[in-house]
Chain A
Amino acid sequence: MQYLVAFVLGILSYALINNVVLVRFYGICSFVGVGNKVKSAASMGIAVSFVIILATLICYPIYHFILVPAGVPFLDTITYILVIASLVQVVGLFIKKHSPTLYRNLGIYLPLITTNCAVLGVVTENTDAGLGFLESLSNAFGTSVGFFITIFLFACIRVRLESSNAPKAFKGIPLALICAAIMAMAFMGLSGVISL
């Protein structure tokens, strides 16, 4: 029971307090690049969540049961990125077969999940901080939830920004980044909600 509570609190903490995009700065390229299409933002959130959770589930045993006993913990970056690249291909095929609408909404962003800092960032964090299995899982779930919330909210905001009367130099990405700054300020206020 205590483990379940710690797990749930861990998810909330990694989703809100140490938000993946607005505090830890992973996944900004896709965050800014997804634009004002709400559907593809939601699809990207779901796909990235899949990949993060599956990558953690696969990479944690690989590191602890293959790399460390063999004495080669420094090969972790190469292994992780190969696992993530193949995982993205497999997840792409899976999505194509089971949900063609999701696949169509994702479009070009599916192969770009390989270069999403969030996936490699979460897996590397789990190794560097020496987290246990349950904590790594809560990191993965929390990051996925946080990423989905942030990217969905941001896309909805940008839909309304499109029709705003911004100065010419600020149109597009600069205004979006300033909105991200305000979002980051809002999330700063959530810190302290959970005292772990």
Chain B
Amino acid sequence: MNEFAKKALKVALILASIGGVSAITVSAVNLFTAPKIEANRKEKEKKALNQIFPSAIVGEAVEIKEDAYTSLVKYWPVQIGNEDARIYSCSGKNGYGAVSLLIGVYGDYSLGRMSIIDNTETYGQTLNQNYIAPYQYYEDGESRQTALDDVTCGATYGAKLIKGMVEQAVAHYKEAR
């Protein structure tokens, strides 16, 4: 083999060995961290569910596969005392980013609490402060509906996205009943 080929082979070998060692290290660490990440996610979901309807019995999640409801992912049927309710998990995105949240809907279709799981909108902080925080402050369905409809808040497109998702959830519940 001439000199060039030998040198190229040596370089390729070293590069491949460095790449191989790094891949093995990363995979090893992934074995440790992947279960913890999954556990974190499940606990966050459980805490969010608990926050929406505290002291309620939450059933198993049901996946939503109808095409008409593009932002609904799944729902949990909930028992509060004698009444039925549902918690919907919605996720949607627009040109500014993505929002995913949990929304509780009572048996009489009035709105329950909202819990934000992910908010990667570019103006996410404004959305949080001016739209989501007021919604979460109210305790009765009517004021929540008013807060939901008031979308001019400085992050209007994010607010419209959230409003659309909540309306889809309520429509799905109405249809299912």
In the complex, chain B residues 136-161 whose Cβ is within 8 Å of any chain A Cβ:
156-157
Q: Is the CB of A72 closer than 8 A to any CB of chain B?
A: yes
Interchain nearest-CB distance for B122 vs A (Å): 6
B96 touches A17 (CB 8 A): yes
Per the CB 8 Å criterion, the residue count for chain A at the interface is: 16
> Which of B18-26, B40-48, B60-68, B73-81 contacts the other chain?
B18-26
Expressed in whole angstroms, the minimum distance between the Cβ of B124 and any Cβ of chain A is 13
Which of chain B's residues has its CB closest to A128's CB? B120
On whether the beta carbons of A74 and B30 are closer than 8 Å, the reply is yes
**In the complex, which residues of chain B have a beta carbon less than 8 angstroms from the beta carbon of A75?**
23, 26-27
Q: Are B94 and A78 in contact (CB under 8 A)?
A: no
In the complex, how many angstroms separate the beta carbon of B34 from the nearest chain A beta carbon? 8
Is the Cβ of B26 less than 8 Å from the Cβ of A18? no
Q: Judge whether B26 and A17 touch: CB under 8 Å.
A: no
The answer to whether A129 has its CB under 8 Å from any CB of chain B is yes
Q: Which of A47-55, A109-117, A188-196 contacts B (4 or more CB under 8 A)?
A: A188-196
Within 8 A of A (CB), among B1-45: 19, 22-23, 26-27, 30
**In angstroms, how far is the closest chain B Cβ from the Cβ of A30?**
22
Chain B residues numbered 95-110 whose CB sits less than 8 Å from any CB in chain A: 95-96, 98
Please indicate the chain A residues that have their CB under 8 angstroms from the CB of B27 in the complex.
72, 74-75
- Chain B residues with CB under 8 Å of A196's CB are 94-95
Known: A13-B95, A129-B93. A23 touches B26 (CB 8 A): no
Which residue of chain A is the closest to B29 with respect to CB atoms? A74
> Quick one: which of A99-147 are within 8 Å of B by CB?
129
Give every chain B residue within 8 A of A74 (Cβ-Cβ): 26-27, 30
CB within 8 Å for A129 and B22 given contacts A72-B27, A195-B157:
no
Q: A23 and B157 in contact (CB under 8 A), knowing A75-B23, A78-B19, A129-B93?
A: no
Question: Which residues of B have CB within 8 Å of A194?
Answer: 95
Determine whether the beta carbon of A23 is less than 8 Å from that of B93: no
The answer, among B23, B96, B98, B156, for a CB contact under 8 Å with A78, is: B23
Question: Whose C-beta in chain A lies nearest to the C-beta of B94?
Answer: A196
CB proximity to B under 8 Å, residues A34-58: none
Contact B95 A78 (CB under 8 A): no
Mask of B86-130 contacts with A, CB within 8 angstroms, 1/0 = 000000011110100000000000000000000010100000000
With contacts A74-B30, A196-B95 taken as known, whether A18 is within 8 angstroms of B23 at the C-beta atoms is no
Q: How far is the CB of B164 from chain A (nearest CB, A)?
A: 12
Which single residue of chain A is at the shortest CB-CB distance from B93? A129
Closest to A142 in B: B95
Chain A residues with Cβ below 8 Å from B93 are 129
B96 neighbours in A (Cβ, 8 Å):
17-18
Q: Closest Cβ of chain B: how far from A168's Cβ, in Å?
A: 36
Report the bound CA distance from A18 to B157 in whole Å: 13
Given contacts A74-B30, A75-B23, A78-B23, contact A18 B122 (CB under 8 A): yes
Interface positions of A (Cβ within 8 A of B): 13-14, 17-18, 23-24, 72, 74-75, 78, 82, 129, 192, 194-196
Q: A13-B95, A17-B95, A195-B157 are in contact. List 6 more A-B contacts (CB 8 A).
A: A18-B122, A72-B23, A74-B30, A82-B19, A129-B98, A129-B120
Closest 10 CB pairs of A and B: A13-B95, A196-B95, A74-B30, A17-B95, A196-B94, A74-B26, A75-B23, A23-B122, A18-B95, A75-B26
